[in-house]
Amino acid sequence: MHSVRSLVLVRTLAVAFGIGMLLALAAAPAWSGGSRMADPGGNAGNPRVYPPGSNPFGMSYGAWTERWWQWAYGLPVAGHPLFDETGADCAAGQSGPVWFLGGVFNVSGNANRTLCEVPSGKALFFPIIDVEWDNACPPVDPPLSVDELAATAKWYMDLTTNLECDIDGRTIENPWSYRFTAGPFGVDVPAGNIWEYFGCPTPAGHYEPLLADGYFLMLTPLPPGPHVLHFTGTVGDPINFTLDVTYHLTVVPDSRSTVGALLETGVPGLSGLSEAGKSQGAPSTWGRMKATYR
């Protein structure tokens, strides 16, 4: 990224992060559209994970990455599973053969979710750590090109220094092989969306383009019963942020789980922003949030 507006954007982000220096982004290769993978291998020793080059349920990892972002941005903040640190809202927006999990929109980057129930037969798709970039929030004028958006997302993920995922105590081998990019793609956001929560003027509607980059895993359906899923990743210097999330999942044979049924009936306390999330408040800038979430 060599344009003046790109360097201004980087400097703005540097100030937002409290970094007293101007960061320079390396030039990125031309963006070809669609999605691509960093490494087509890396599935040896991971029987519970779909291989990077596979097409689970008829779609590539890159396509599922787009779907994940459309799910994450397609829900209002009230009752959003990525604001909830307990897992009680994990059924929100879920449908089809794949359920989405994820990080947490709080300042610390930590969550220990104990109330998440998943119907049996559902694959699980989630990022260990990832980022997306767009022109909607924070708004950029003139807008960044697709190549510039991709280069910004790539710059963040190139800072990754730590990556780990464990399923029931078994560590995923070579998680670095599960890096994917996606886009350009669009999202439909509702009223009360995440971008509005962080102070951006984004009424309900369709927004594009978005470019995403990160480390994603698609787990084969887990057997009924309790399971522990833990993942952590670090975006290194100069961001220096670590995400650390643990799900204590219960896979239930009935598709109508206890928590899901309670959410449908509107029982108080099981939907809406968690008390922990409310007490944290919003990060000081959308740029900080984008770099620290996932």
- Per-residue pLDDT of 97-117, as tens digits, reads 999 999 998 777 899 999 999
Is pLDDT at 250 greater than 90 in this prediction? yes
Q: How far apart are CA 255 and CA 84, in angstroms?
A: 22
* Domain assignment of residue 1, yes or no: no
Q: How far apart are CA 6 and CA 10, in angstroms?
A: 6
pLDDT (mean) for 69-75: 97
* Domain assignment of residue 53, yes or no: no
Return the percentage of the chain with pLDDT > 90, whole number: 65
pLDDT at 292: 41
pLDDT at 254: 64
Alpha-carbon distance values, 35 to 65, 155, 289 (Å): 9, 17, 24
* Domain assignment of residue 12, yes or no: no
pLDDT at 106: 78
* Domain assignment of residue 36, yes or no: no
pLDDT at 189: 97
DSSP label at residue 95: B
Q: Is residue 184 reached through a cis peptide bond, with omega within 30 degrees of 0 on the bond before it?
A: yes
pLDDT at 271: 36
pLDDT (mean) for 187-207: 95
pLDDT at 272: 38
pLDDT at 275: 38
pLDDT at 1: 31
Q: Report the range of poorest mean pLDDT among 8-17, 37-46, 86-95, 96-105.
A: 8-17
Q: How far apart are CA 19 and CA 27, in angstroms?
A: 21
Look up residue 137 and give its two tokens.
Answer: 């929030």
Is pLDDT at 267 greater than 70 in this prediction? no
State pTM to two decimals.
0.77
pLDDT at 256: 52
For residue 216, the surrounding DSSP H or E stretch is strand 205-219
Q: How far apart are CA 103 and CA 101, in angstroms?
A: 7
In the predicted model, what is the mean pLDDT of the chain? 78
Look up residue 255 and give its two tokens.
Answer: 């598709």
Q: According to the per-residue pLDDT averaged within each range, which of 21-25, 62-66, 286-290 is highest?
A: 62-66
Return the percentage of the chain with pLDDT > 70, whole number: 71
Q: Report the range of poorest mean pLDDT among 57-61, 146-150, 262-266.
A: 262-266
**Number of structural domains the chain divides into:** 1
| Full domain range(s) for residue 161 | 59-292
Q: Which residues pair with 154 in a beta bridge?
A: none
pLDDT at 105: 85
* Domain assignment of residue 39, yes or no: no
Q: How far apart are CA 150 and CA 82, in angstroms?
A: 24
Burial (0-12, 13-18, 19+ Cβ within 10 Å), 201: exposed
Say which residue, 233 or 24, is predicted with more confidence.
233
Q: How far apart are CA 256 and CA 290, in angstroms?
A: 33
For residue 197, the surrounding DSSP H or E stretch is helix 194-197
* Domain assignment of residue 85, yes or no: yes
* Domain assignment of residue 37, yes or no: no
Is pLDDT at 284 greater than 70 in this prediction? no
* Domain assignment of residue 2, yes or no: no
Is pLDDT at 90 greater than 90 in this prediction? yes
